[in-house]
Structure 1
Amino acid sequence: MSEKLSFVNPTPNSPWGTYLQQVDRVIPYLGDLARWSETLKRPKRALIVDVPIEMDDGTVAHFEGYRVQHNMSRGPGKGGVRFHPDVTLEEVMALSAWMTVKTAAVNLPYGGAKGGIRVDPKTLSLKELEKVTRRYTSEIGIIIGPHTDIPAPDVNTNGQIMAWMMDTYSMNVGGTATGVVTGKPLHLGGSLGRVKATGRGVFVTGREAARRLGLDLRGARIAVQGFGNVGSVAAELFAEAGAKIVAVQDHTGTIVNENGLDLSKLIPIARTVAGAVSFKGGDVVPNDKFWDVACDILIPAALEGQITAERAKKTTAKLVLEGANGPTVPEADDILAERGVLVVPDVICNAGGVTVSYFEWVQDFSSFFWDEDEINVRLDRIMMNALNHIWDTADKHKITLRTATYAVACERILMARQERGLYP
């Protein structure tokens, strides 16, 4: 970090600053455990690495990589790796902290971690992408491991990236270590249901929230920002339940159809380089107009900081399902609460991915694999149990679901910290 930046004095409007405000709001509900609250504001470990590779043209390029382990009181670090040109240390710190809260919220035996490389993978050849992945894995290999810190896919990373990471780590330790990453291809120890797990979790929590609000999913209008693995899967499941996907925004732009977009045709097109705006079944509108679209449910499933105060005042949604990490800034959170808009926070809403990652990790250790129906049943049960407990906490204290989620999760984290004590 720069000289001006410390763990407790973040850059203004940064993801880490958002996280710190969220922690401050939950401290009054922690009782005697509040004495340990500084633990939540300081990552356990932050590693910055240089990632040099030889490019296809013979030149040598350097990329900056990060791996942050926020808290490991409840178990090994767990969290994805993203490849994106805007990755920063503060962003990775925040993402690792949200993973700490997320794993505790669904009561998985993990802590929180996150990684990233500041690179645009679209500018790399497949060979260069493999080199970046392998060199990065070698550099962070000193702090990751099946019992220490388990990476997974995130923005612009996938099963192939995880396969390269697993192989690199395995070569360095002298034996195949399938449990060092999750989100792997099936034939390398991956789990059925993992690819759709995060989107499925958004749907499961959203379905329950809609039921409690008295919002019928049949005919409900849904707007989805971010149409990758999370947004598209959630959209498919809501459409199957009878909802209409009236707006989709991806990296290419925004497309709107008040009568509902045909997902069977849109999704294959959205996965091409041309993106969603090349679909002919809707109207292309400026990106800012996405927030004006009349909808009942809003699913931000892109990057953090998307729902600003101005956008929170605009939206017509009754329910916000945070498929992305940290999509709503604190000021916007307050505005949505004042307007009576229910927000299902990221740390529970998108926890389906890490839950099935946990299943994959367990299956790798036992070398016994479950079928997809069993995985989905287990996932739905864990998500529902976690959400119901959080909802009861929110009702008891008359607080938002986000504050309630943090109250439940932080109590578990700090109880573990207190019972473990300080060493030495």
Structure 2
Amino acid sequence: MLQTAQELIKTVSKQLNLSDEDTEFLLSANAEHVFEIELSDGTKHQAFRVQHNNTLGPYKGGIRFHPDVNLDEVKALATLMTLKTAAVGLPLGGGKGGISINPKELSPELLEELSRKYAAHLSPHIGPDKDVPAPDVNTNAAVIDWMVDEYEKVTGDTSKASFTGKSLGKGGSEGREAATGLGGTFALREILKHLGEEKKELTVAIQGFGNVGLFFGTLLPKQLPKLLFTAASDSSGGVSSAFGFEPKELATYKSTGKRLVDFPEDDSVPLPGDSILQEEVDILVLAALGDVITEENMKSVKAKIILELANGPVNEKAYDYLTERGVIIIPDVLANAGGVVVSYLEWFQNRAQEHWAEERVNAELERYMVEAISKAYDYSVKHEVSLKEAAFALAIKRILEARREQPETSA
């Protein structure tokens, strides 16, 4: 993952004729915090926080609790966060954190202890104007609330702007839960507008009809009412129907704990495993995991447009192959940026001691997404590059322009 992120930066840097010094600046992290957390049960766990670049503003990025967390992964994700915040025009930098642990094996008490010790250790290095962490894989509002409380105890800060992704009663923002999915609907709508296809009756399949995919699916009809939702999958497999599904009907079915593959509609057909990736649809939405389309299955993808709601669902070789074939891939750096946009809006509200209505939050989210997609699309057409390369180029140019104007903020 780290190599892929860095190779793309190098590719775009060459296209922009950047100096070796500028390229190295974009590749290098400002700080890497690697430490060990010992819990009261005697177990010890590696913990990380990488602060990649803060030229545009405080570092921003999630904290994940997962057994596979390692320094290279955190560095890669921090690098991508720098580019994501810049690509969507936010006054933020990029960071990422994590602990190598399976939180499902912890008691609630140990999970709280872990969260508090992580925040306490990092308290000198994070904060509203330095580094603003958020939830990520296996972390949630409860974990963030513990971290905020611990940070307040250590530092005396009461702004609630030290972390985002908090619960609503403790400084969280309206609209946060649906933000990534809603942002994805705006991204798809805008690309279809630029292509002149937003009013066509196109078919859509969603791989990963879980949290983000479910929000995306249920919110999509408002943005693009003519789209026909013909297939969906989760970890159990999936279902397809030439006649289409009502996304809310599938969501209600899933909320009962049942598997999508068992959906009982008469004209639905079960889809085993990842066969949804080969469905004959116009738009394929990837909302589950990374690396689901690779050189192993890329030739069987039939969709004309792919929306990357997950992080890195199309690997580098597959991305190049599909792009060459004319498939339009709306990259994760834009497609799933709704989460970080609303994360920024939460931070902004905390600093201003305000709490906005959901309508205002969603309107601001839409404004950021529309502008980011429009700029990336125009750049991709003008320079004949993919949307991902366009987004990276615009992000890099924005960071370097800010660096030249305010060089003291890059350290």
- The counterpart of 2:356, out of the listed 350, 367, 370, is 370
2:303–2:327 Cα contact (<8 Å) kept? yes
- The counterpart of 1:298, out of the listed 277, 284, 287, is 284
Q: Which amino acid aligns with 2:155?
A: V
Which 10-residue stretch deviates more, 287-296 or 68-77?
Answer: 287-296
CA displacement at 1:352 relative to structure 2 = 1.2
SS of 1:413's equivalent in the other structure is: helix
CA displacement at 1:19 relative to structure 2 = 0.4
Mapping of residues 84-233 of structure 1, within 5 Å: 84-216=66-198, 219-233=201-215
CA displacement at 1:273 relative to structure 2 = 6.2
Mapping of residues 243-258 of structure 1, within 5 Å: 243-258=227-242
Query: How many residues are paired up?
Result: 406
Equivalent residue number for residue 412 of structure 1: 398
CA displacement at 1:170 relative to structure 2 = 0.9
Whole-Å Cα distance in 2 between the matches of residues 95 and 247 of structure 1? 30
CA displacement at 1:285 relative to structure 2 = 3.3
Whole-Å Cα distance in 1 between the matches of residues 261 and 123 of structure 2? 40
CA displacement at 1:188 relative to structure 2 = 1.1
CA displacement at 1:176 relative to structure 2 = 2.5
Whole-Å Cα distance in 1 between the matches of residues 262 and 106 of structure 2? 24
Which 10-residue stretch deviates more, 270-279 or 106-115?
Answer: 270-279
CA displacement at 1:114 relative to structure 2 = 0.9
Whole-Å Cα distance in 2 between the matches of residues 217 and 232 of structure 1? 23
SS of 2:296's equivalent in the other structure is: helix
The alignment yields a C-alpha RMSD, in angstroms, of 2.3
CA displacement at 1:252 relative to structure 2 = 4.0
Q: Which amino acid aligns with 1:344?
A: I
Q: Which amino acid aligns with 1:394?
A: S
Indicate how the Cα distance of structure 1 residues 244 and 122 shifts in structure 2: closer, same or farther if over 3 A, else same. farther
CA displacement at 1:258 relative to structure 2 = 4.0
1:33–1:411 Cα contact (<8 Å) kept? no
CA displacement at 1:327 relative to structure 2 = 2.0
Whole-Å Cα distance in 2 between the matches of residues 217 and 46 of structure 1? 48
CA displacement at 1:219 relative to structure 2 = 4.3
Mapping of residues 383-398 of structure 1, within 5 Å: 383-398=369-384
Indicate how the Cα distance of structure 1 residues 51 and 251 shifts in structure 2: closer, same or farther if over 3 A, else same. farther
Indicate how the Cα distance of structure 1 residues 218 and 271 shifts in structure 2: closer, same or farther if over 3 A, else same. farther
CA displacement at 1:213 relative to structure 2 = 2.8
SS of 2:46's equivalent in the other structure is: strand
Whole-Å Cα distance in 1 between the matches of residues 253 and 119 of structure 2? 33
CA displacement at 1:128 relative to structure 2 = 2.8
Q: TM-score, normalized by length of structure 1?
A: 0.88
Indicate how the Cα distance of structure 1 residues 100 and 193 shifts in structure 2: closer, same or farther if over 3 A, else same. same
Equivalent residue number for residue 7 of structure 1: none
Indicate how the Cα distance of structure 1 residues 53 and 267 shifts in structure 2: closer, same or farther if over 3 A, else same. farther
CA displacement at 1:421 relative to structure 2 = 3.8
1:301–1:323 Cα contact (<8 Å) kept? yes
CA displacement at 1:372 relative to structure 2 = 1.5
Indicate how the Cα distance of structure 1 residues 421 and 374 shifts in structure 2: closer, same or farther if over 3 A, else same. closer
Equivalent residue number for residue 55 of structure 2: 73
Indicate how the Cα distance of structure 1 residues 259 and 158 shifts in structure 2: closer, same or farther if over 3 A, else same. farther
1:162–1:184 Cα contact (<8 Å) kept? yes
Indicate how the Cα distance of structure 1 residues 394 and 274 shifts in structure 2: closer, same or farther if over 3 A, else same. same
SS of 1:145's equivalent in the other structure is: coil
Equivalent residue number for residue 297 of structure 2: 311
Indicate how the Cα distance of structure 1 residues 270 and 185 shifts in structure 2: closer, same or farther if over 3 A, else same. same
Structure 2, gaps ≥5 residues long: none
Indicate how the Cα distance of structure 1 residues 223 and 34 shifts in structure 2: closer, same or farther if over 3 A, else same. farther
Find out whether 1:344 has 2:330 as its counterpart: yes
The structure 1 segments of at least 4 consecutive aligned residues displaced by more than 6 Å after TM superposition are: none
Whole-Å Cα distance in 2 between the matches of residues 198 and 148 of structure 1? 24
Equivalent residue number for residue 323 of structure 1: 309
Equivalent residue number for residue 250 of structure 2: 266
2:189–2:198 Cα contact (<8 Å) kept? no
CA displacement at 1:163 relative to structure 2 = 1.0
Whole-Å Cα distance in 1 between the matches of residues 152 and 385 of structure 2? 46
Q: Which amino acid aligns with 2:142?
A: Q
Which 10-residue stretch deviates more, 297-306 or 238-247?
Answer: 238-247
Whole-Å Cα distance in 2 between the matches of residues 204 and 222 of structure 1? 15
Equivalent residue number for residue 23 of structure 1: 9
Whole-Å Cα distance in 2 between the matches of residues 222 and 116 of structure 1? 34
Indicate how the Cα distance of structure 1 residues 126 and 227 shifts in structure 2: closer, same or farther if over 3 A, else same. farther
Which 10-residue stretch deviates more, 394-403 or 130-139?
Answer: 130-139
Q: Which amino acid aligns with 1:371?
A: A
1:150-199, Cα deviation, whole Å (9 max, x unpaired): 01122222222211111111111134240011111122111111211111
Whole-Å Cα distance in 2 between the matches of residues 149 and 239 of structure 1? 37
Indicate how the Cα distance of structure 1 residues 126 and 202 shifts in structure 2: closer, same or farther if over 3 A, else same. same
Equivalent residue number for residue 320 of structure 2: 334
Q: Which amino acid aligns with 2:35?
A: V
